[in-house]
Structure 1
Amino acid sequence: MSSPSSIVGDRVEDILQAACRVVVRDGAHGLRMAGVAEEAGVSKALLHYYFSTRQELLHAAFAFSSRMWEAAVLAQLAGAPNGAKRVELYLLASVASTEPYDEHRALYNEVWSSLRIDSELRPLVRDAYRAWVDKLVALIGEGQADGSIPKGAAPRATAQRLAAVADG
């Protein structure tokens, strides 16, 4: 028998997955509470119980997607033989248009494109981007420690250059 907290957690996860699908399909600007409730198969009242505003739901969906992406990437990195390969895999996951990364990338791009009309999203995207670059810096440091990346490469500067290339 499932515990009440696991049922609540599953319900919230279902709602967040539905919100992610709606953002990918309709754009961040097209996210509507009624649309997410319909996509998740729940009432609007239940959706509002967990997320009182559209903005709160969008933030939670973005954070949820980021956590799922990070978990998938970390699982892939775990099998890499060295830091250089982990950097390569991390960058490829960041630009991949294949499962399991494509939905997060599409959602991230939708939220990113909404920044000009929704300034409340800026801190969320800025923090996610900084965390992404910081992880890249850490992976470069791991590569330097294991000898797969030259020690002369400044990790932060190298990560910023790689991020610029990945961003296009």
Structure 2
Amino acid sequence: MSDRRTGILQAATRVIARRGVRGLRMGELAAEAGVSTALIYYHFTDRAGILRQTLEYIGDRADHYTAEDRPAPDQGRGDARDPRADLEQVLLLELQDSDEVRENSTAWGELRATAVFEPELRQDLARSTHGWVHDIAGLLSQADPTRTAPAHTAAAERLTALVEGLSVRWLSGSLPIEQARRLLRGAVDAELDGPAPGAVAGAVGAGFGES
């Protein structure tokens, strides 16, 4: 991706985080990016194209900062990563008190809220969400290989939804970030240490069968 194109997407993320999707105006975006509106249309065709590519950019940037700060294996001992710690760290890195994460998370939330009213955003948003859920389900399968793929996917849906909810509460000042991170750690523990869904269902069924 060219530096100019990346710069426009960075500017679009800032404007969306600051003003929301409905506040995204080509003139303001051009001024924020330091380019002409003609150049924006040259790269992205229309407003829908800008939103679609900004959503992809936000996802790529989140992938970058969650991968960049993950713990590396101990090269001296040749140890592999601890899958459980790796899963927890990837999720916790979405709750960092940094300008990049604040901006990214706020813009993501604005795009998700706008998709309620702008159906053309929904497919792209669903695709990005599916990719995130798939990645977390993969980490869950490494941390607990005894459970089924559907169980990992369901757990990933719960954890990613929780991250989004905690992020909104933290960013809006309703929840201290330390508490948000504690709650997320507790949710990871509950998913990995609690009984498998099938075991719960079996226990409930057995209870109803008793006389």
> May I ask how many residue pairs the two structures share in their alignment?
156
Contact map agreement 2:136 2:156 (CA 8 A) in 1? yes
Question: What are the ranges of 5 or more consecutive residues in structure 2 without an aligned counterpart?
Answer: 74-80, 166-211
**CA deviation after TM superposition for structure 1 residue 165, in Å:** 3.2
Structure-2 residue corresponding to 1:3: none
1:30 equivalent to 2:23? Answer yes
**CA deviation after TM superposition for structure 1 residue 28, in Å:** 0.9
Q: Which moved more, 1:32-41 or 1:95-104?
A: 95-104
Structure-2 residue corresponding to 1:91: 91
Letter in structure 2 aligned against 1:166: V
**CA deviation after TM superposition for structure 1 residue 157, in Å:** 2.9
**CA deviation after TM superposition for structure 1 residue 54, in Å:** 0.8
Structure-2 residue corresponding to 1:21: 14
**CA deviation after TM superposition for structure 1 residue 161, in Å:** 3.1
Report matched runs for 1:24-103 at 5 Å.
Answer: 24-79=17-72, 81-103=81-103
Partners of 1:19 and 1:64 in 2: CA distance? 10
Letter in structure 1 aligned against 2:158: R
Letter in structure 2 aligned against 1:155: H
Structure-1 residue corresponding to 2:119: 119
Say what the alpha-carbon RMSD is for the aligned residues: 2.0
| Identity rate, percent | 29
Post-superposition CA distance 1:101-126 (Å, at most 9, x none): 22111110010111122111111111
Relative to the length of structure 2, the TM-score reads 0.67
Question: What are the ranges of 5 or more consecutive residues in structure 1 without an aligned counterpart?
Answer: 1-7, 146-150
Partners of 1:103 and 1:70 in 2: CA distance? 14
Partners of 2:134 and 2:147 in 1: CA distance? 18
* 2:158 equivalent among 154, 157, 161: 161
User: Structure 1 residues 53, 128: closer, same or farther in 2, change over 3 A?
Assistant: same
User: Structure 1 residues 51, 97: closer, same or farther in 2, change over 3 A?
Assistant: same
Partners of 1:51 and 1:131 in 2: CA distance? 23
